[in-house]
Amino acid sequence: MPTRMPRLPALRPLLAAAALVLGLGAVAASRIAVAADTQDYPAASLSAPTDPAALIARGKYLVTAADCMPCHTGPGHAPFSGGLMMQTPFGGLSTPNITPDKATGIGNWTDKEFYAALHDGVSPGASYLVFPKFLYPAMPYTSYTKLSYPDVMAIKAYLDSLAPVDAPRLPSSMKFPFNQRPVLLGWRILFFRSGPMHMNPAWDEQMKNGAYLTEALGHCGECHTPRNFMEAMIQSRAYAGAPIDNLFAPNISSDKTYGVGGWTQADLVAYLHDDGNIVKGSPYGAMGDMTDHSTSLLPVSDVDDIAEYLQTATKPQITPPSPAIADAAASIARGKTLYDNDCASCHGNNGGGLGPNFVPNLAGNDSVTAEKPDNLIGAVLGGLDSWADGGPQMPAFGAQFTDQQIADIDNYVRTAWGNKGSADATAADVKRLRGAVQLPGAASQAADELGCPRIGSGGANGIADPGNGLLNIYDGATPATMANRTRELITAVKANNNTISQADLTNTLVAAYCPVLAQQPGMSLAAKRDALKDFIAAAQPLIAAH
């Protein structure tokens, strides 16, 4: 006998609940910006160019300032075609294709739908029949909501001008219940407020521009602001610094002791635009990716405006390092011995580095003396890319030093040469960061065009790094040294994994060589592809010999 359907009176509570949810969803998901919202914005953001070419040029500038390409370019993917797996506390989230492909990208999105995505965090379509398709806040719409409508349309015009790429979105691995988008409704009601930033009408055009670039486009707070247990930014602590992967994004508020308020403007501009200097160090990790693909490509006048805003208009945040550990003196003494033996040859006996454009300083480096000791620990564990083209790379010492030894080095460097950090690093801190997820580096357009695999934690996210800086082995290689370097890398990889397949070993060799080849000047893309095929062919007998 078929089950009877409930009568309308029995459905009323459910219908009322559904109506309430829909009403709350509508409030949380949409808001119509009015002209008065942005009346105090910088003049360039208030009207879109009428000439199509000028509109696209404005959009390209905005996309660069917003640093869109690195997040929307995964390993082996064409620029802007998505495929990067972002690791969150709630699981892995793949980035989507934002080229104008009609099947897999945004080619069918209307202006209204595109604006809703950037301004309100809502994607076209419906989820579970009734809910708006909320975007996860890994997409920084919480900052992009401050963009003006004309600028959002300029961004769309630029993206629409790109060549469409057929690149279906990779599956994400968000954990239950966070893989259910309706769960985001509660998060949005609690933590998301759409709408513009309210600028001080008394600000001049340069300060407004700096605020707009920092708060809306650059979304600096997304990394430099602490988050609560639900990963929402704690706005009262804006720019006070926060953990990011196995590093720490430091305090960049206007505080003159703990933030960037005490820097000279020239030093801050050099850091953001010119890859740093020997006074305040150089950007690295996620910050290095951002400066490479965004702020270094902006007019220096824009970076002047960003510096002025950060140094004078943001709320000063006081973030002293935590108290020193109980046996700080002994740890510092051990650290000094290790530093003198293994670090001073590059960074100098006085921590001054080798500059310009070679090895950054550790003395006077705010990243080193930040609230948390994570930055120096992360650098020692995993190494760093070279400061400038042709400069030496920071090798990974994670396999060479114990957790306690790395903590000792950290405590020495944070307190030596007048540094005002605290000897607060412990072996437990190092152990924790050894296990931190390290995301693949941001996309290099040259490497992605060549199809280079990414270095990650293995599996779908990229090729596993064998450690000890061995994936940098082809830097500076010549035809005469290439075979020996390949043999050395094969030996090291097989020592760590003696059951690795020939295909995976080949992929690891390609992952090491391909990015070096991609940066070779004067070679066409076709010539680089031919050279990569020749490299793979030459590696096969060397692999077979092992």
Residue 199 lies inside a defined structural domain of this protein: no
459, 377: one domain:
no
429, 341: one domain:
yes
The CATH number given to whatever domain includes residue 370 is: 1.10.760.10
The H-or-E segment that residue 329 falls in is helix 328-342
Of 88-102, 309-323, 333-347, 492-506, minimum mean pLDDT range: 492-506
Residue 5 lies inside a defined structural domain of this protein: no
The H-or-E segment that residue 285 falls in is helix 285-293
pLDDT single digits (tens) 437-481? 343 333 345 665 666 665 544 332 344 555 555 667 888 888 888
263: containing domain: 205-220+238-312
pLDDT of residue 12: 42
Of the three residues 257, 281, 312, the one that is the final residue of a domain is 312
pLDDT of residue 19: 41
Count of domains for the chain = 4
pLDDT of residue 65: 96
pLDDT of residue 436: 60
Higher pLDDT, 12 or 493: 493
pLDDT of residue 435: 61
Helices (H) and strands (E) in the chain, counts: 21, 9
Distances (CA, A) of 446 to 164, 292, 519: 18, 13, 7
Q: d(Cα 371, Cα 153) in Å, to the nearest integer?
A: 40
Q: d(Cα 77, Cα 459) in Å, to the nearest integer?
A: 16
Of the three residues 312, 346, 369, the one that is the final residue of a domain is 312
Of the three residues 412, 434, 456, the one that is the final residue of a domain is 434
pLDDT of residue 516: 84
Residue 487 lies inside a defined structural domain of this protein: yes
Residue 318 lies inside a defined structural domain of this protein: no
Higher pLDDT, 292 or 463: 292
Confidence of residue 15 (pLDDT cuts 50, 70, 90): very low
The CATH number given to whatever domain includes residue 213 is: 1.10.760
Residue 153 lies inside a defined structural domain of this protein: yes
Q: What average pLDDT does range 21-46 have in this prediction?
A: 62
26, 106: one domain:
yes
Residue 500 lies inside a defined structural domain of this protein: yes
pTM assigned to the model:
0.74
Q: How many CB atoms lie within 10 A of CB 23?
A: 10
User: In the predicted model, is pLDDT for residue 260 greater than 90?
Assistant: yes
CB distance 364 to 347 below 8 Å: no
Q: d(Cα 93, Cα 85) in Å, to the nearest integer?
A: 6
210, 178: one domain:
no
User: In the predicted model, is pLDDT for residue 305 greater than 50?
Assistant: yes
User: In the predicted model, is pLDDT for residue 109 greater than 50?
Assistant: yes
Q: How many CA atoms lie within 13 A of 73 on its CB side?
A: 23
Of 209-223, 331-345, 370-384, 485-499, minimum mean pLDDT range: 485-499
pLDDT of residue 250: 92
411, 465: one domain:
no
pLDDT of residue 524: 86
Q: What average pLDDT does range 53-78 have in this prediction?
A: 92
Confidence of residue 377 (pLDDT cuts 50, 70, 90): very high
Of 212-221, 238-247, 486-495, minimum mean pLDDT range: 486-495
92, 172: one domain:
yes
404, 449: one domain:
no
Of 30-34, 259-263, 318-322, minimum mean pLDDT range: 30-34
